[in-house]
Amino acid sequence: MQDLVIGTYFFSLTILFLFGSSGFFMIYNYLKYRNRTSPAPEPLDRFPVVTIQLPVYNELYVVDRLLDQAAHQEG
């Protein structure tokens, strides 16, 4: 019984060690790539079509103004 408890304890410590060591891996990658710059994005010729969702529920007096403002938005 004592061997089972010690084995379970060792297994859980191993899992916690692996989980904690992932932070060191993230720090290593940050230090390795922190001076790397990404290329500037190319300017868009056409903007993509987007969907504007308006959460409306029992808004009788606000819906008309809300739809007008949403329809007149500029990118």
Please state, in angstroms and as integers, the Cα–Cα distance from residue 58 to each residue in 1, 17, 55, 61, 63, following that order. 64, 53, 10, 9, 9
Residue in this structure with the two tokens 């390795």, named with its chain if needed: 32
AA letter at 31? L
pTM score, whole prediction:
0.41
| Cα–Cα dist 47/33, whole Å | 31
Tens-place pLDDT, residues 6-65:
999 999 999 999 999 999 999 999 999 999 998 999 998 988 888 888 888 887 888 888
Instruction: Identify the pLDDT of residue 13.
Output: 96
Query: Residue 60 phi/psi, 5° resolution?
Result: -60, -40
